[in-house]
């Protein structure tokens, strides 16, 4: 029996006969199913976020595991956490079947290598404190299933994201996230709306985790890593928005805070030096809100 993601779409059986404008419209319109699938999976994503935060708050790592398109999307989500939220690189592992070269050239046969998944996770010393995000559109990829089973044996938290409800990955993962996107407009091409749904769910899940870990104040990205001129301008703007200070004052505070936005905000709001501001933040468990309100860790 064909998986839902592999079944022929009934919407556009003559896709190749469409005019180019109609072809573009058909491909674009089909993507709306991806968003609806993520919205339907919201309760599972919320549970995944809450359970992940429990582990990560105690020092666990985020580990992404996938193959092909799913693996590349996992790597993309993971590597963006450093500049966006200053997530420590030593607390991030991104694994794709076939290794780093598979990011740039398809290595489809690698997804069948069950032993490689265990070997990859062993090499990175996966342990019970970690959070594994396992990705497979089909939910049947041997590399991903083997890695998820290994994570379960170690006591790590396993979150499985698949586009086929009832798939082996969703039955195996401790927190299953079913993204029911159905058949693709180009039959079987899960780089389309199945991939879009995975990208949205990863954005949603990792962002929610980072909010809960105090990387966001209000809706301001206050824990970004300033690594270029654009991000320096963004850090300055965020500091001004959070404090109401003049740009000149904010820039002085950022300089003293070594471009740490949270520290600069506490300095300006509480009239403290950079070392004192860092101490207040540490006492508040890294929560800018708690630091400003004097509430201690939250």
Task: Determine whether 114 is an active site residue.
Answer: no
The active-site residue out of 80, 114, 251, 283 is: 80
Q: How far apart are CA 172 and CA 253, in angstroms?
A: 50
Q: How far apart are CA 198 and CA 177, in angstroms?
A: 10
**Could you give the count of Cα atoms lying within 13 Å of 214 in the half-sphere of its Cβ?**
18
Q: How far apart are CA 151 and CA 126, in angstroms?
A: 7
Q: How far apart are CA 183 and CA 163, in angstroms?
A: 10
**Is the separation of the CB atoms in 135 and 71 below 8 Å?**
yes
CA distances from 294 to 32, 82, 131, 265, 270 (A): 44, 28, 31, 14, 10
Task: Determine whether 122 is an active site residue.
Answer: no
Residue 93: partners with Cβ closer than 8 Å, 6 or more residues away: 61, 62, 63, 64, 78, 124, 126, 130
**Is the separation of the CB atoms in 97 and 126 below 8 Å?**
no
Pairing of strands 131-135, 157-162: parallel
Please identify every residue annotated as catalytic.
80, 111
């Amino acid at each position: 029996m064909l998986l839902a993601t592999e079944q022929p779409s009934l919407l556009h059986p003559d896709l190749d006969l469409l005019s180019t404008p109609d072809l573009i419209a058909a491909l674009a319109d089909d993507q709306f199913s991806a968003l609806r699938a993520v919205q339907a999976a919201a309760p599972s994503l919320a549970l995944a976020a809450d359970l992940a935060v429990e582990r990560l708050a105690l020092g666990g790592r985020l580990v992404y595991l996938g193959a092909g398109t799913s693996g590349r999307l996992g790597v993309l989500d993971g590597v963006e956490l450093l500049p966006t939220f200053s997530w420590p690189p030593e607390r991030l592992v991104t694994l794709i079947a076939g290794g780093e070269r598979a990011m740039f050239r398809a290595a489809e046969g690698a997804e069948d290598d069950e032993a490689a998944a265990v070997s990859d996770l062993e090499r990175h010393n996966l342990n019970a404190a970690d959070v594994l995000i396992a990705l497979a559109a089909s939910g049947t990829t041997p590399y991903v299933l083997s890695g998820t089973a290994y994570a379960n044996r170690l006591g790590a938290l396993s979150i499985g994201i698949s586009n086929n409800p009832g798939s082996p990955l969703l039955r195996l993962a401790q927190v299953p996230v079913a993204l029911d996107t159905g058949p693709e407009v180009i039959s079987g091409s899960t780089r389309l709306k199945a991939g879009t749904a995975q990208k949205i769910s990863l954005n949603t899940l990792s962002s929610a985790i980072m909010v809960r870990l105090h990387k966001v104040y209000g809706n301001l990205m206050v824990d970004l890593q300033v690594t270029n001129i654009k991000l320096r301008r963004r850090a300055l703007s965020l500091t001004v928005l959070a404090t109401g200070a003049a740009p000149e004052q904010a820039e002085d505070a950022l300089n003293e805070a070594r471009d740490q936005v949270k520290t600069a905000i506490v300095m300006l709001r509480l009239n403290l030096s950079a070392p004192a501001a860092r101490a207040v933040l540490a006492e508040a468990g890294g929560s800018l809100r708690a630091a400003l309100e004097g509430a201690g860790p939250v």
